[in-house]
Every structure is written in C-alpha cells, then in structure tokens.
Structure 1
Amino acid sequence: MAREARGKKAKRPSYKKVVLSRPGQRDIKLVALGRLLSALGVGTALVSVAHIVGSYWAGESIEQGRWVLPIMAAIVAGAGAFYEIWYGGRAARNEEKRIRHRLLGTVFDSASLPTDEESGLGSGKLITLMTDNAERVTEYRQVYFGATVAAMAIPFVTLAYVAIAIDPVVGLSIMVLCPLIPVLIGAFMSLFRKTSANSRKERGILSGQYLDAIRNLVTIRLLGAGPRTEKHLREQGERNRGAIMKLLAGNQIVIIIMDGLFSLLLICCSAFLTVGRYHAGALDLGEALAVMFLTDLLIEPLVQVAGFFYIGMGGMASERAIGSYLASSSKNNDSTSQGTAITDAGNMAIAARDLEFDYGRGTVLGGIRLDVPRGAKVAIIGRSGAGKSTLLSLLRGSLPLQKGGIAIDGANVNGLGSTEVRKLTASVSQATWLFTGTIADNLRIAAPEATTEEMWEALRKAQVADEIERMAQGIDTYVGEQGVLISGGQAQRISLARALLSGRHILLLDEPTSQVDIESEERIIQAIRELGPEWTLLMVTHRRALLEIADQTWEMKGGVLSPFVTQVGSAQ
C-alpha cells in the first residue's frame, strides 16, 4: 500500500508545466541569469576593492588602472540588476495574458460550464482564477522564482570560490550553515500553508459575492435588500482582511527569524573565522577583507525570504488552483462527445435516438427520440422541469452526451468536440444577452466579416430594421450594458437577427417570446413565419401563436417526448 501510494504521488501533475507556457518557463531562466550576472559583478567588484585596500594598507603603490576592473564589474552588476527587474516585470505581464487566454479558451471549449456542486468552481471563482490568481502566478514564477533559485545558488558559488581561491577552511566551514536556509524555509512553509490557503479561500468567496451583488443590483434595490447585502459584503471583507493579516503576520515572524537571527549568526561566524585565520597568518589583509566583503552575497537568499510567504506561497497556491482547473478541463475538452452513432437520420436536419441524461439527481431525459425534417418548424411544449431546456442544451452542445445519439445536419455528434457541435446550430434564448457596445457590434459577434447590408438584411428578417432606422445612429446605436438602452422586444429581435446572420440554418429557440410585450411577440412570430424553407426551427414554447405556425408539436412529460395530440388551446 505504501509503495502504491508513493507511486501515485510520483505521478502527480507538474502544475508549472500545465500552467506556464514554454516562453514563460524560458523567462524564469532568463530572470535567474540576470540575478547571477548581477551577483557576479558585485562579487568581482568586492574582491577587487578588497585587494586594492589590502595593497594600500601594506604600503604598496596603487596603479590607476587597478580601478578599471571594479568599476567595470559594478557596471555589469547594475546592468544585471536592471535587466532582472525590467525583464521580469515584462515577462510576468506577457505570461499573465497567455494564462488568461488559455483559461478563456478552456471555458469556451468546455462541454459544459462547471457549477459549484460539480467542481467547486462557480463564476466568481473563475473570475478570481483569471484575475488575481493569474497575476499571483506570474509574479511568483516570472519575477520571484527565478531570482530566488539564483539567490539560493549564490552563497554556495561564493563559498566555493572562497574555498578554492582564498582559504578552504573558511569557505567549507561557512558552507555548512547555508543548507539551513532552504530547510528553515521549508519548515515555515509547512507551518503557514493552512494560513495561506485560508487567505486564498476567503478572497475567492469575497470575489464571488461581489460579482453576485453587481449582477443582481437591480433586484437587490427593488427588494430593499441593499443594507443587508452591504452588511454581508462588509462582514466577508473583514474576514478576508483578517486572513490577509494573519498571513502577513506569519511573514513578519519569518523575516525576523531569518533576516535577523540567521543573518546575524552567519555574519558573526564569518567574521570570527576570518579574523582567526588572519591572525594565524593563513590570510593576508586583502584576502580577509575579500571574505568579509563577500559576506554580503552570503545573505542574498535572505533578501528573498521577505516575499516568500506572500508572493511565494500565494503564487504556488494560485498555480495549483489554475493547474488543477486546466488539467481537469483538458480531459473533457480533448475528448470527443460520447454516445452512439445514428445511421437512420435520412434527410433529417435533427435526429435524436434514445437520449438519456442525468445531472446526478435523477433521470431528466429518458429515451428521447426526435426527428426534425429539413425546413420544418417544430415546437416542443411541457411543464417547467420536464427536460425541454436540457434537450436543447444537448442539441446545441452546451451539455455532453451521456447516452444515445444525435445527428445534426447530417453530422453525428458523437466523435465531434463541443466546439464543432456548437457550430452546427444557432440559438436564441429567452433571456437575451446583448454586450456593451453598438447594435452592429452585437451582430458582428456572430459574423465578424458581415457587411452593413448583410446586417440590415438580418434585421429586416427579424422584423426590427424599421425601428433601428428611426434611431439617430442606426446600427451604430449604443445599446448600453446588457442592452438596457433599448426595449426588451428590440433586444430579443436583435438576438434573432444575430442568429440569422451566423450562417447556420438550424435555429434552436428557447421561449423566444416569453419575456416580450404583445407587439414584439407578434413581430417575432411574423419573422419566424416568414423564414423560408432553407431554415429549420426547433422551438421550446408555451405560446399558442407559435404553436399555430409549427409544422409539428411534441410534448415533454417526465423526460419523455411524444407527439402532442391534444387541442392547441389546452397546451400547457
């Protein structure tokens, strides 16, 4: 069992390789190179100055040319330090963009968006990954990690030089103390890991609660829940502040112990050994001064300790969170849709066979069979919770297949990735979402290369062109955040125009008239009625007028789909 556990532990993914791009991993080495170059310049300058001072004390004449080496070394040290800071910051910002791009790509390619119940990763935490966590990872890896690795190596390299070029007793004796630095850092990291994890957790909760409050601001105001929401956010903010203060307090403790006590111990030991060897005649004054001056490089790692428990631990925790999400999502995104292939789809635009789906709370769909002929307008009715929206989600690729098969426009869904499935249909939801920008901006989301005439043609088909023409800016009219500057009926028809402009001729409509006024409903129905035979429509609806223009009507009951045979007037 122990051997098996060790084997499993050895196969844990390297989150650095999962999260960081190849340029990002290269940048770590380049930043470390800048730190080493700076230390080389500093060390060379210090040794040169020490020997000059020693020669001067011994009464030797100092040639002016002897100052060239320390001056040049100081310039190299400054250039290395500047390069480390400049390149590290630049690399961090570039890698941050790459990480966000990967996260967004993972979300867009995902077969279904994660929920809190499924993965503990809701929209608030997802935003935290893309903002705060991405920034922390790059600050840790691109700015801090490479410099820290180099800083850990500098004392050993320095003491190896002392042991070889100056005095082996001093060099090897002091080198014994250096391994205590990473050992103490590891011990403190284990001690404060829980504090760091709690700080990250509270920060994620606060981000999610702020996002919920912003998204539901109108509802909060209408219900008079503003003071309660404010109090709740203030309490969570205080918990977040307390978690950060605990982390910073631990950081200060480490700084006091490491930077204060340990550096003092290291300096005292170096001074004691150097003075002793000088009096014993093993070192001349120049060599003794060189060892004492080089003590500055021995405490190089302690400079990095100050940021370890805030930058280091926070960065590692963020890297694990992002890496875990990318690793788990990539398995889903790289795999194709499951299910069975359909061989009897014929000339159907949509064919579904034996569809079953379960969210883990009981069967939602049980053996669905559906045929939608090309050019047909098919309606599905049923009570709320019957499974209508789940069926549409499977057809448009928002949910992965579990059992059964789907063929859309002659293509079997099983064997296709979620992105390919979504390209087969266009959707119009009952809750219209318009992006901040102009009407043209929202239309071009579906067709980036669409011409002005093509956009107007789609708006005419959606029965909204005449209203937009009366607007002062036409299709360049600004719609506001979530389309608040235009009516709900206009927004829904613009959403329909966007679907028509997409170039996909199979439309999935989810209650397209449920949240609009009567006039807008009539115009949407008229737009759907006038669509030609090149368009295939599958509509989920309760509205009688939409049922009247349907070529077929199906009813969903308890996850089972059957032809609707009752009079239209009695539809649910």
Structure 2
Amino acid sequence: MAKKLSLSGPAGIVAIVTSVMLTLVSVLLAAGFTVLLGYTLAQAFSGKSISGQLGGLFFLAIGVGGCESLRVAIEQRCQLSEQGALQSRLLWHIFRIGPGILAQRRVGSLIDMMTAGTEKIERYRQGFLGSMIGSMLTPPLVLVLMALFIDPICALVLLAFVPLVPLIIFVFSKLTRKVSGKSRRQRNQLAAAYLDTISGLETLTLVGASEIQGKKLAAAGEKNRLSTMRLLAANQLILLVIDIGFNLLLLTSGFALCLWRILSGAWGTGVGLIAPMVSMLGLTLLLLEPMNNIGAFFYIGMSGRANQRLVRRFLGSKTSLAAPEIAPDRGLESSENSNLSRREAESEDEAPANSKLAPPVNSNQSVTSAVDPALPLIQMQGINFAYPGGKPVLKNLDLTVKTGEWVAICGASGEGKSTLIEIIKGNLLPNSGQVYLQGQSLTPTNRDWFRARSALLQQTTWVFSGTIRSNLMMIAPRASEEHLWNCLKKVKLEEEVRSFPKGLDTAVGEDAYALSGGQAQRLSLARALLSERDLLLLDEPTSQIDLASEAAIIQALAEIAKEKTLLLLTHRASSLRYADRVLYLKDGALREVSSE
C-alpha cells in the first residue's frame, strides 16, 4: 500500500503532539481536582480545616484553565500557518503540472480546494485532531486514577465501556462517509460552476442562454442545500443516539456502582462515604470526554478527512501534458440537470429551439410584430458616436446590408469596428443618427429586441466546462442529436468530433483546453447557429487562430452565408475572399472597396 502523503510540516506535527499532551495534562489535573474535591468535602463535613485543600483546588483549577488556553492558542496559530503552507504546496503542484490540469479540473474546483478545502483540513488537523486524540486517551488514564484512589472494582466494570468509544466513531463514520463525501463533491462542483458561469457571463448573454444557465445553477444550489441538510440531519441523529444511548448508559452505570458500593459498605459509613462518592461520580463524568468530542468529529472531522483525501489524490497526481487523460468533469451537466434543461425548455414560458429567441415586445416599444422582408436587414443613417470624454469614433456613418448578404468590414485596429457592431447588436446607442433592423428603429426601450435578432461571435468566446454536447444544448435544450451534428457539419467540425472516442460527450476541459483554438471557435460558431437567428455578427473570429483553422472557418462561413446574413469584422485579407461586399472603415466612415 502506498504511503499516504503527509499534509503537515514539522511545526504542525509538533503542534498536534503538544495539543495531545496538553489535553492529557488538563484531564489529569481535572481528575486530581475531582478526587481532591471529594476529600475536601469529607473534611468539611467532619469539621476539620480545609484551608490546605482549598489552595490545592485553586491551583488545579488554574492549571486546567491554563492548559486549555495554551492548547487553543497553539492550535489557532498553527492552523493559520499550516493552511498557508498547504496552499503554497498546492499552488506549486499546479505550476509543476502546468496548464494540462485544466483538461481535468476546473478552476473553480481548484480554488474551492485551495480555500475552503484547506481551511477545513487545518481546522481538523490543527484545531481538532490533537484534542480528539487526547480525549480518546482520557478513559484509560481516568480509570487508572479511579483504580488507584477510589475503587478498582468500579474501574474494572467501567473499563467495559472504553472499547465502545472507537467502535461508535468507526461505525457512524462509515455510515455518514457517503453522505459527507457527496455533500463535499456537490459543494465543490457548485463553486466551480458558479465561477465558470461568471467567467462566461458575456457569452451566455450574447447567445441568450443566461436564463437557462441561471435556472440550472439555482437547481444545483437547491440540490446542494438539500444534501447539506441531509448531512446535518444524520449528524443530529448520531448525537441523539450517543446522548441517549452511551452517555445515559455510562452515567447510569456509574451511579449504580456508587449505590452498590455504598449499600455493600465497601466505602464505610457516614461522612467517609462523601469522598469516594463525589470522586467516583466526577471521574465518571470525565469518561464522557471522548463522546463530547464526537459531535465535533462529525461536523469538523468528517469534512476535514474528506478534503484530506481530495488533496492527497491531487498532490499524488502526475498529469502529462503530452497526452492528458481527460476525465469528464460534468459539473452541472449530470443526467438530472440535463433532464432539468429539457423540462425547462418544455415549459410554457420557454421559447422552442427553432424560434428566433426574440423576447416579447413591451407595449412601450416602437416595434411591430411583423417586419417587411423587402426592407434592408440593416440600415444605418448618419451615425455619430463618441465615448464619454473621448474623441468621435464614428462620424456620419451610413451602412446598408440586405437580407442574405455577406458584408465584410475591414480597417485598422482602433478605427471603431467593434463599436459599430455593438451598435448594431443594440448594446450601444448612437449619439445621433438612426439604426434600423428589419425596418425597426433602435430606441432605448427596444434594445432587447435588437439583441435577440442576431448572434454575436467575438474574437474570444467562452467555452464552458463540460462536454461538446452540453455547450451546444445550453442554447437549444430540446435540440435533437441530428440537429447538433448538422450544426457541427456546417461549421466543418463534424468529422473531428466523430473521431473523438466519446463524440459529442467529449469533455472539453476548462476554457476548452482539450480543443484547439480553431475547434473552440468553430464550436462557438455552431452554438450561434443553434440560436436560429438570421443575422450573424462576427467580430474578428479568426484573429487568434492558426491559418489552417482560419481556412476551415472561412469555408464554413461560405456555406452558412447561403442561408444567413453575415456581417464580418476583420483585418485579415484572407477573410474577405467570399464576401459579397467589402467595406473599409477609416476616420469614422465607411467606403466600399473591391473584395479582390
């Protein structure tokens, strides 16, 4: 069996041992206080002086308090230092593995492991483990004192209860380990999914899938809440069984033994009974010390141990950059969540996959329900735009794009190409001039309608952790597999996906690490096609990929242009080959040039 990786440094191990010793010293002093208290009461009731005993009791009480205070201070200090050391160790391991880790793990899960995970580990190791070990050693120590100073027969009888303590911990930890592990995994996945969604929020908004993803997160959050409640319910049940069963049984047995020894005359008569009786009952209470910590074990210990297993597996991993073994990290894309997506899409208020995904038009919007197909799809007249406090970007710009036309707009960086496309999308309003989309004028009240008429593909779009299928179906939850393959075929990605061993269920990794830049961009293009919007806005879609991938995307766009209207912003000459018209943007205005 492989040796377990140590998660504590030398200082941490010393702190744990010190905590064990201080716990035992504290128990020893408490036991001495109990025995001395019995003799003090017996002396008091017999009318003898107790000044010496009171001094001893005061010294022992101060000793118990001092040991506990010192133990807590050491645990808290080492908890922080060891957590920082463990976080550094994890970070260096990530650096050693390199970016290949993103094919197997999501950034959100790594962050959760390095923050909440390490905190729970060190709260368990430095803040709990030492005192727990010390309390587990308490019963033998207390029983030895009971045998030496009170009654060996009572100590021998109560010795039968000692094995029950580790047995109870072992049995109940096995019973709750599955629930605890499931709860931890769900919290880890939920944290990863939230970070993934926040990182890709712009993409979700542009493709109209933010509401669906929000419902998935809400459902996953509710599932995590229920899992946490089940874990708490199991812990409370365990504590109830321990309190009613073990604690009550032990106290009853201790009281019965006292009564038996008193009635049998083994402890004498009169005031002489007080010392052994008080000491016996006090030491019996000290035997409950391990059980008092069991409640904390199921709250702190189980969580800490679960995170320990996670961190040890991670530190023991040796991911290869050459051929990473991709483990599907489905996150929210479990079968249950896939069913949730289907139920959401089938609900009355969810638009079907083959709709234009246009939101309902409010009564105060100047948009009619019908559009005139004879009108240009896009018409811009006298557009002027400048950012607050900046120089004019667009100056008296005019643009007309017919339905089914492919128009390419080129120009140097900083000339305002992205600003122009944001105005067409409805994300920006011009300072002056008119923008028409299918004959409808852009106003502050109908910007959502404008946004819903087109799909925007930017230079870098976010590919979500999960699978190729989940990335596509977040746009159209009810899309058939045939429809998914058809969209992949249109963007020249079908053959490559079919060559993957898992096809559509291939895990893409964090930010599409398992895909090439061109494959990720074509996957984003297929996702835009699934939105079924007639207007595709492409903002430098080939600027950050290799020439082969660029050629595949340009060929795909040539096929897509047969049924869609394309407006392409680019600075690459190769992207202009198939365009119907090429416009050049300079000094805020457009002029037509040859596409040759």
User: Does the pair score TM above 0.5?
Assistant: yes
After superposing on structure 2, the runs of 4+ consecutive aligned residues of structure 1 that deviate more than 6 Å are 568-572
Equivalent position amino acid for 2:72 in 1 = I
Alignment match of 1:193 (pick from 177, 197, 219): 177
Corresponding residue number in structure 1 for 2:4: 14
Alignment match of 1:181 (pick from 161, 165, 169): 165
Query: Does residue 80 of structure 2 align to residue 53 of structure 1?
Result: no
Answer whether contact 2:190 2:220 (CA < 8 A) is retained.
Answer: yes
1:285-434 aligned at under 5 Å gives the runs 285=273, 286-329=275-318
Alignment match of 1:262 (pick from 241, 246, 252): 246
Q: 1:12 is paired with a residue of what secondary structure? A: coil
Answer whether contact 1:247 1:310 (CA < 8 A) is retained.
Answer: no
Distance in 2, matches of 1:181 and 1:310, equals: 17
Answer whether contact 2:43 2:50 (CA < 8 A) is retained.
Answer: no
Distance in 1, matches of 2:58 and 2:15, equals: 29
Corresponding residue number in structure 2 for 1:468: none
Query: Does residue 92 of structure 2 align to residue 105 of structure 1?
Result: yes
Answer whether contact 1:189 1:313 (CA < 8 A) is retained.
Answer: yes
Q: Deviations over 1:52-107 (max 9, x none)?
A: 112223x2412312211110100011111212222212211111111100000111
Q: Structure 1: where are the runs of 5+ without partners?
A: 1-10, 338-356, 362-463, 465-487, 490-509, 515-520, 522-538, 544-567
**Residue 542 of structure 1: how far off its partner (Å):** 4.3
Answer whether contact 2:132 2:290 (CA < 8 A) is retained.
Answer: yes
Distance in 2, matches of 1:359 and 1:319, equals: 24
Structure-2 change in CA distance of 1:540 and 1:306 (3 Å): closer
Structure-2 change in CA distance of 1:139 and 1:359 (3 Å): closer
Distance in 2, matches of 1:292 and 1:115, equals: 59
Query: Does residue 238 of structure 2 align to residue 248 of structure 1?
Result: no
Structure-2 change in CA distance of 1:96 and 1:217 (3 Å): same
Q: 1:224 is paired with a residue of what secondary structure? A: coil
Distance in 1, matches of 2:66 and 2:323, equals: 62
Structure-2 change in CA distance of 1:191 and 1:295 (3 Å): same
**Residue 570 of structure 1: how far off its partner (Å):** 7.8
Corresponding residue number in structure 2 for 1:276: 260
**Residue 275 of structure 1: how far off its partner (Å):** 2.1
Corresponding residue number in structure 2 for 1:203: 187
Equivalent position amino acid for 1:311 in 2 = I
Equivalent position amino acid for 1:260 in 2 = I
Query: Does residue 57 of structure 2 align to residue 70 of structure 1?
Result: yes
Equivalent position amino acid for 1:149 in 2 = I
Answer whether contact 1:136 1:315 (CA < 8 A) is retained.
Answer: yes
Q: Deviations over 1:126-159 (max 9, x none)?
A: 1121011111111111111111111111111001
Distance in 2, matches of 1:113 and 1:251, equals: 39
Distance in 1, matches of 2:9 and 2:222, equals: 36
Equivalent position amino acid for 1:177 in 2 = F
Corresponding residue number in structure 1 for 2:73: 86
Distance in 2, matches of 1:270 and 1:12, equals: 45
Q: 1:62 is paired with a residue of what secondary structure? A: coil
Equivalent position amino acid for 1:13 in 2 = K
Distance in 2, matches of 1:68 and 1:274, equals: 28
Structure-2 change in CA distance of 1:207 and 1:41 (3 Å): same
Distance in 1, matches of 2:58 and 2:80, equals: 33
Distance in 2, matches of 1:50 and 1:297, equals: 15
Distance in 1, matches of 2:289 and 2:153, equals: 22
Corresponding residue number in structure 2 for 1:171: 155
Structure-2 change in CA distance of 1:191 and 1:569 (3 Å): closer
**Residue 194 of structure 1: how far off its partner (Å):** 0.9
Q: 1:328 is paired with a residue of what secondary structure? A: coil
Q: Structure 2: where are the runs of 5+ without partners?
A: 327-413, 415-457, 460-516, 522-539, 549-571, 578-596
**Residue 541 of structure 1: how far off its partner (Å):** 5.4
Corresponding residue number in structure 2 for 1:24: 12
Q: 2:3 is paired with a residue of what secondary structure? A: coil
Answer whether contact 1:89 1:143 (CA < 8 A) is retained.
Answer: yes
Aligned Cα root-mean-square deviation (Å):
3.1
Equivalent position amino acid for 2:20 in 1 = A
Distance in 2, matches of 1:112 and 1:222, equals: 28
Corresponding residue number in structure 1 for 2:23: 35
Query: Does residue 125 of structure 2 align to residue 141 of structure 1?
Result: yes
**Residue 200 of structure 1: how far off its partner (Å):** 0.9
Equivalent position amino acid for 2:36 in 1 = S
Distance in 1, matches of 2:325 and 2:141, equals: 58
Distance in 1, matches of 2:67 and 2:140, equals: 19
Distance in 1, matches of 2:235 and 2:91, equals: 33
Distance in 2, matches of 1:360 and 1:49, equals: 66
Distance in 1, matches of 2:140 and 2:292, equals: 16
Q: Deviations over 1:104-126 (max 9, x none)?
A: 0111122443245x4xx322221
Higher RCO, Cα 8 Å, sep 6+? 2
Equivalent position amino acid for 1:257 in 2 = V
**Matched-pair identity in %:** 29
Distance in 2, matches of 1:360 and 1:143, equals: 37
Distance in 2, matches of 1:306 and 1:221, equals: 46
TM-score (norm 2): 0.53
Q: Deviations over 1:188-241 (max 9, x none)?
A: 111111111110111111011111011112222333333222221111111111
* Alignment length (residue pairs): 340
Q: Deviations over 1:439-498 (max 9, x none)?
A: xxxxxxxxxxxxxxxxxxxxxxxxx9xxxxxxxxxxxxxxxxxxxxxxx99xxxxxxxxx
Answer whether contact 1:27 1:91 (CA < 8 A) is retained.
Answer: yes
Distance in 1, matches of 2:573 and 2:224, equals: 56
Distance in 1, matches of 2:121 and 2:193, equals: 23
Structure-2 change in CA distance of 1:180 and 1:360 (3 Å): closer
Answer whether contact 1:41 1:75 (CA < 8 A) is retained.
Answer: no
Structure-2 change in CA distance of 1:190 and 1:226 (3 Å): same
Q: 1:170 is paired with a residue of what secondary structure? A: helix
Q: Deviations over 1:133-188 (max 9, x none)?
A: 11111111111111111111111100111112221101111011121011011111
**Residue 299 of structure 1: how far off its partner (Å):** 0.4
Structure-2 change in CA distance of 1:154 and 1:103 (3 Å): same
Answer whether contact 2:29 2:63 (CA < 8 A) is retained.
Answer: yes
Answer whether contact 1:100 1:134 (CA < 8 A) is retained.
Answer: yes
Q: 1:282 is paired with a residue of what secondary structure? A: coil
Equivalent position amino acid for 2:54 in 1 = W
Distance in 1, matches of 2:324 and 2:4, equals: 31
**Residue 272 of structure 1: how far off its partner (Å):** 0.8
